[in-house]
Each structure stands twice: as C-alpha cells, then as structure tokens.
Structure 1
C-alpha cells in the first residue's frame, strides 16, 4: 500500500465529496479518515427529519454507507485500477431513538492483507465494514454492516 498521510486523507475526502452528490445534499462531513477507519457526521437539519423530529432512516443509512465507502478509498485505493468495489449486502439495526447530529464510525472487518491476497489469487474477496451510529453525546442508536466485494476487472 502506498503511504497514507494527511495530504492523502484530504485528497480522498475532497474527491469523495466532489463525486457523490447526495453526500453533499445531506451536508455530510468527514471528521476522521485513515486506512480501515472513517468517522463522518450528519448535521441535524429539519429538512432531513422523520415523523418524530429525528434524522430520517434514509439519511442515517446514507451516513453509514458513506463512511463505509470512504474506507474502501482509504484502504484499497491502490487496488482500484484492477478491481471495482461494490456493496453486496447491508443490514441496519435501530436500537434507540436518534436526535440531533449523528456520527458514524466505520471500521474494516478484515485485514487488508487478507483481502488483497484473495484478489491477487484471482478471487473476488468479500469483507464487512461495521458502522456504529451514535448521537453527539455518544449514545449508540444503531449499527450498520455493509458487505463489500472487490470485483476483479478482467479487461485486458
């Protein structure tokens, strides 16, 4: 893997925000980004509320899926010339009522080396990204698991 530093993180963040319009629509912001881990924030906006005044489930899903997707770029960016990242399955649990700003902390569920070794062997690796959703005060309101695959690009 190429060296990951603050400049790389800023380039990934800027590129992600530039190429995913819905992320900009919701006003999602990065708080932290490193290989294998991402933290993003969904600001509390009345336009994104549900029937009880908290963030709509769709907005929280987008927050979680975006945090998981940014891990793909920070962890496997050097593999994207030979594989296409795709989410295959998502599960989301709601554990407490969410109100106010929401934070999603995503973590890669398998070591990068294992995933890349499978890709090197010509396989289509799958791996989970686990996301914890919480309010500003740290109250956990739910979890999202996104199963990703790196589909080998068999052109050429």
Structure 2
C-alpha cells in the first residue's frame, strides 16, 4: 500500500491539525514534523506547552511507524501502547520533531507473520528550529492483528 503518510496522519488525527503540525520529511522508518510557535500553545514560561510537545512527538512517531508499516494496515491495526518523555531544555519558538524507528522492520513483520502482536519503539528528539534538543520521547507501538 502506497499513500501519503503525512496527509493520512493529518486526516486521521484531527488534533494534529489543531496544533498546525506539518511534516517536512517522511521516508521508511523516519519522520520529521514541525509545530509553529503560537501564543495559544505556550505554557506559563513562554515555551510550547508540554502537551503540545508530546503531541508533536507522538505524531512524528506515528508517521515514522506508518512509513515503515503502512503496507500492513490491511492485516493489523497500529496502536501506541506507551510513551515516556524527558524534558531537557526550555523550548522557545517553533519546534521540530525527528522520529526514527528503533526496531528492525523485518523482525516486526516476521513476528506479525507468526500471529504475534509485536511491540516496537520509535525514538523521537524534539528540538528548536536551530537544532537545540528540548525533549526526548520514546513511543512504544504495537501492530494488533485484525481478526
């Protein structure tokens, strides 16, 4: 199945559209997403709210996951099953999330082939527009076999 992962994400996840998230780059196992600096998305210290940062990171992770496993959607439903976030620096201005599949696609598909419900990680770094890291996020995904 070949499709525009960024467009699919924005169509199927309305909250990502609410935050004006856009996708700069998507390729197998990788996605780069961006969120603008808007006053209504800021926290009490002037940076993007933690929830907005998390949503950006989770959206990027979903695009990275779909870019690797979109061809499996006819037989499995992707679900985020866990996440952890670590804030490392105050973000100011526009932020960019780079998400990378941390698992082997072949191993995940092989486990799905045996009827398992594989879980795998997508690692995300969120940075300011100049490349300064502001948070690190790990999202655990699963492919739940369709019955």
Partner of 1:85: 78
Are 1:96 and 2:89 counterparts?
A: yes
Segments of 4+ in structure 1 off by > 3 A? Answer: none
1:18 deviation in Å?
1.7
Q: Could you list the runs of 5+ residues in structure 1 that have no partner in the other structure?
A: none
Alignment partner of 1:150 out of 131, 143, 146? 143
Cα displacement string for residues 31-61 of structure 1 (whole angstroms, at most 9, x for unaligned residues): 1001100000010000100000100000000
Partner of 2:65: 72
Partner of 1:14: 7
Distance in 2, matches of 1:136 and 1:143, equals 15
1:89 deviation in Å?
1.0
1:72 deviation in Å?
2.2
Distance in 1, matches of 2:79 and 2:10, equals 18
Q: Could you list the runs of 5+ residues in structure 2 that have no partner in the other structure?
A: none
1:151 deviation in Å?
0.9
Alignment partner of 2:112 out of 119, 128, 152? 119
Alignment partner of 1:136 out of 122, 129, 137? 129
Alignment partner of 1:60 out of 33, 42, 53? 53
User: Contact 2:92 / 2:128 at 8 angstroms: preserved in 1?
Assistant: yes
TM-score, normalised by the number of residues in structure 2? 0.96
SS class of match (2:103): coil
Distance in 1, matches of 2:145 and 2:34, equals 32
Distance in 2, matches of 1:16 and 1:86, equals 13
